[in-house]
Structure 1
Amino acid sequence: MSDNSVFPHPVYKETVLAPLFEGAKAHYVDAVRAINRAHLVMLVDTGILKTDDAEKIAGALVEIDQQVDVSKLNYTGEFEDYFFLVESELKKRIGPDIAGMLHTARSRNDMDHTVFKIALKGRVDTLLDQCLALANAVHEKARAERDTLIVAYTHGQPAQPSTFGHYLAALLEVLLRDIERLTAARNALDHCPMGAAAITTSGFPIDRQQIAQLLGFSEPLRNSYGCIASVDYVTGLYSAIKLVFLHLGRVVQDLQFWSAFEVGQLYVPNSLVQISSIMPQKRNPVPIEHMRHLASVTCGRCDTIVNTMHNTPFTDMNDSEGEVQQAGYATFESGGRVLELLAALISDCSIRADQVAKNSDAACITVTELADTLVRRDELSFRQAHEIAAETSKSAIAQGQALGQSFEAFSAAFQNHVARASTLDQQAYAMAVSAQGFVAARTRYGGPAAEPMNEALSAYRTEIDAFNTAHQSTKTRELQAAHSLHNAFNALLRE
């Protein structure tokens, strides 16, 4: 059977190769440049390549950077991809023999996954910066609002008093665990595939440690098969990102609920409120809705990437490469918008104390402390105290009174259940059912009272600072690596 067809097929060219070429232009030019330069330095330092030949290759690489405007290139099908275009440009300048030496002891397999990791590292660094900025904003607000009372809800119903600071501290704890997961995913990106070549490394005396360091990685990824087959650096990363926005989405939903007219304990400032085109009275905190849908979109984008890896072979494959990698980058854009908007909203919002007091009184949310006080002061069982407190709150609600104004109903309920008077006088009763007293009594580890909150805020500050220090240290190491690569490559030009 004869086959006179010529690569690429026009449809394949337009549906696959051209989009991949555009993606390489948009995302991978700098990474490919760095890999070419680092690999060249390593080939010379290990004696695989002669200095004279390396000088010619280095000069040609510089010329390509100076003379070829990648942004203006259109895919013609003359070359399969961006890699072969660069190799073709080298051949034009120094001939095919010397140009071909640059590809000694490497493959597009190890190059591709190195490129993808470099591209992801920069994006994760930005996302971590945004997460840490949000953590700082939440910590600052929690510290400022540690005494600000709120109504805490369970199952969508008013439950107990707490403080805005205590609520935000819970958010901060989850966010810090998410930052820890993101940091672990970032660390998985920091192992370099270069030197794995196609699958099994090379018979040449390459120095994988050197090229990893020159490219800003902490170390080579040990197993060469895993360098080109493993995708956990992708699935682990997008799984960690999904959790960030799944968790933040729950908080965003609370903020939406709190800002509703019927609840009204959260005030969103005018700068974050849009008006209605027809209803003059409306204050629409639509940034909260935008955060909610953007968080959901971000989670969906993460699922797209992870699910693409399902039921694929454990080998080099296109399912984990260019087009899928590029599809994931929108995740960082939508997620970053959520983080920045949420930091702004948390910094600028406030709690409406009058509405909190109104809702607290209407729902009798302090009555748990009344039951606890009866256990401590009158030595009742909690179940008996619970029944007295429940009867008191039902009476208050039926009569439209605040719990603090229902001492007579309490006294009657106590007498009815215990057949004696309580040791609580009216002042002690008022303290037991006050929101301030409720919070002040919660002094145990993790509670909303002043002492445990101050301890917690101090611990969170230490944790945030530790994450930030480690993150900045990684970025500093990579900047130093880029400087070392610059100097080592330029030294070849001067040989």
Structure 2
Amino acid sequence: MSADQNKIWQGRFSVQSAEEVDVFNSSISFDYVLYEEDIKGSMAHAKMLGKQNIISEEDVSSILEGLEGILMDINNGALQFDPKAEDIHMFIEAELTSRIGDAGKKLHTGRSRNDQVALDLRLYVKKQAAEIIDQLEAFESVLISQADKHTETIMPGYTHLQIAQPVTFAHHLLAYAQMILRDIKRLEEVANHTDSMPLGNGALAGTTYPFDRQFVADQLGFKTVTANSLDGVSDRDFVLDMAYTLSMVMMHLSRLSEEIILWCSQEFKFVELDDAFATGSSIMPQKKNPDVAELVRGKTGRTYGNLQTLLTMMKGIPLAYNKDMQEDKEALFDSISTVKLALSAMIPMVDTMSANVDRMRDAASKGFINATDCADYLTKKGLPFREAYGVIGGLVKYCIEEDLTLKDLPLETYQSYHELFEQDIYSVIDLSTCVNIRDIEGGPAPSAVKKQLAMLKEQLEIVD
């Protein structure tokens, strides 16, 4: 049987479609990943057709047995996808008909590929969102575990990549833990937005058959059914939601990757990557390169491009379905695989990363990181902050000229700038004091960080 004879729409045409059109039109090369969703959706549809007496129970049994056999054969490699098939939906339907005969031709009763594709995509997005949430929770656990070790590890905090104020390494890592937590919540929202079952919308105007749409929804684990048939087949908001959220995930991973790249450099030397998660140079034997972090940073652009592709693809499409929408899959699939691959490498890399505690503290002792605390000292003694700010600015200028730190200055020098300075200034500007005094909720003090850790563990149900 020729490929054209297999085309369900060929009856209206008097000549065969051009080979170039078949190649251009085909999506089996990428939408094959939906085979499990397509089969599960078809099984639920067949059960509903039988329940509503639209087809016989005998036909339903044949269809279910045939689909189960196809699923098993694909999973064990006994059945290969036909590259000449138009798409995964036609491939499975043709394979089913070849196995069980005329009963297979009844499966598509009342169904369009438009609502079939929409169903498959929704099932796929829900499944992938759940799998990525599992990965993100694993990554969150790694960040929490690393932070647990370093609640007392002082490091410089930065703004504009300039030393600003002292924090702890735990506090810094937990900033990323908060980002990942938001990503998890966004993915949960994506799953929630996707949780409407579109089968029964037909091509665009529903069906004349007495479908029980909620039965199909219940079979497939959907909370509800789509409310408008035009919207049900042409809505790809959930795909865009997923693509946007995955872009956010990669942006957060990229920011952390950028910091790890900096921290691994000789100039920082804040962390050391495990040898298993670094690479060497083809010519420079001394090199230990943070390639995993660099690749995550680089691959982030793919997810941004995919999001832009989807937004552009959807912006000018009239209702209902248009072939443009076939372009939703490659972009979505690529973003999903990119995020899953990035997380699979990032999780063990961060888990095995070691911190150079002494180096971090040494870096924090430079750059007048305690200047704000020095100004706060005067403010708490009654001097308006702006005046205190000016006094400390003068002291910092003097230290720079004399190659000194605030801790090096004798009390006489302090008092020459303002009489409110007393001996206790030295304890105030000590790094440990600067960190510990910031015990406000959400702050970097060990006591505050431990509260952050406790809340995160509770949210993730982590037991110490």
> TM-score scaled to structure 1, two decimals?
0.82
Q: Identify the residue that residue 38 of structure 1 maps to in structure 2.
A: 44
Question: Following the alignment from structure 1 to structure 2, what is the Cα–Cα distance between the partners of residues 454 and 65?
Answer: 49
Q: Identify the residue that residue 5 of structure 2 maps to in structure 1.
A: none
Cα shift at 1:301: 2.8
Alignment of 1:159-308 (within 5 A): 159-308=164-313
Alignment of 1:351-390 (within 5 A): 351-376=355-380, 378-390=381-393
Structure 1 residues 206 and 441, CA gap change in structure 2 (3 angstroms):
same
> TM-score scaled to structure 2, two decimals?
0.88
Structure 1 residues 119 and 146, CA gap change in structure 2 (3 angstroms):
same
Say if 2:409 is the partner of 1:429.
no
Matched residue type, 1:369: D
Alignment of 1:20-59 (within 5 A): 20-24=27-31, 26-59=32-65
Cα shift at 1:239: 1.0
Indicate the percent of aligned positions where both proteins have the same amino acid. 26
Cα shift at 1:44: 1.5
Maintained 8 Å contact 1:369/1:438: yes
Q: 1:15 aligns with which of 16, 24, 27?
A: 24
Q: Identify the residue that residue 486 of structure 1 maps to in structure 2.
A: none
Maintained 8 Å contact 2:154/2:364: no
Matched residue type, 1:381: P
Moved more, 115-124 or 67-76: 67-76
Question: Following the alignment from structure 1 to structure 2, what is the Cα–Cα distance between the partners of residues 205 and 158?
Answer: 69
Matched residue type, 1:430: Y
Maintained 8 Å contact 1:249/1:296: no
Alignment of 1:325-474 (within 5 A): 325-376=329-380, 378-408=381-411, 411-416=412-417, 418=418, 420=419, 422-425=420-423, 428-465=424-461
Moved more, 148-157 or 170-179: 170-179
**Alignment partner of 2:166: what SS?**
strand
Question: Following the alignment from structure 1 to structure 2, what is the Cα–Cα distance between the partners of residues 294 and 93?
Answer: 43
Question: Following the alignment from structure 2 to structure 1, what is the Cα–Cα distance between the partners of residues 112 and 345?
Answer: 43
Question: Following the alignment from structure 1 to structure 2, what is the Cα–Cα distance between the partners of residues 333 and 52?
Answer: 40
Q: Identify the residue that residue 4 of structure 2 maps to in structure 1.
A: none
Matched residue type, 1:158: I
What stretches of structure 1 of length at least 5 have no aligned partner?
467-495
Moved more, 174-183 or 357-366: 357-366
Matched residue type, 1:160: Q
Question: Following the alignment from structure 1 to structure 2, what is the Cα–Cα distance between the partners of residues 67 and 382?
Answer: 74
Cα shift at 1:462: 2.3
Q: For CA contacts below 8 A with separation 6 or more, give which structure has more relative contact order.
A: 1
Question: Following the alignment from structure 1 to structure 2, what is the Cα–Cα distance between the partners of residues 6 and 228?
Answer: 29
Say if 2:120 is the partner of 1:122.
no
Greater helix content:
1
Maintained 8 Å contact 1:388/1:413: no
Maintained 8 Å contact 1:268/1:348: yes
Moved more, 201-210 or 227-236: 201-210
Question: Following the alignment from structure 1 to structure 2, what is the Cα–Cα distance between the partners of residues 66 and 266?
Answer: 47
**Alignment partner of 1:28: what SS?**
helix
Question: Following the alignment from structure 1 to structure 2, what is the Cα–Cα distance between the partners of residues 283 and 90?
Answer: 54
Deviations 1:10-65 (A, max 9, x none): 11112222xx13334x3132222222221111112122223244344445555666
Structure 1 residues 434 and 37, CA gap change in structure 2 (3 angstroms):
same
Maintained 8 Å contact 2:370/2:431: yes
Cα shift at 1:95: 5.3
Maintained 8 Å contact 2:153/2:170: yes
Question: Following the alignment from structure 1 to structure 2, what is the Cα–Cα distance between the partners of residues 348 and 142?
Answer: 13
Maintained 8 Å contact 2:153/2:361: no
Structure 1 residues 343 and 90, CA gap change in structure 2 (3 angstroms):
closer
Matched residue type, 2:50: V
Maintained 8 Å contact 1:246/1:299: no
Deviations 1:294-328 (A, max 9, x none): 2233333333233322222231122223x431342
Cα shift at 1:448: 0.9
Structure 1 residues 45 and 363, CA gap change in structure 2 (3 angstroms):
same
Matched residue type, 2:191: R
Counting matched residue pairs gives 448
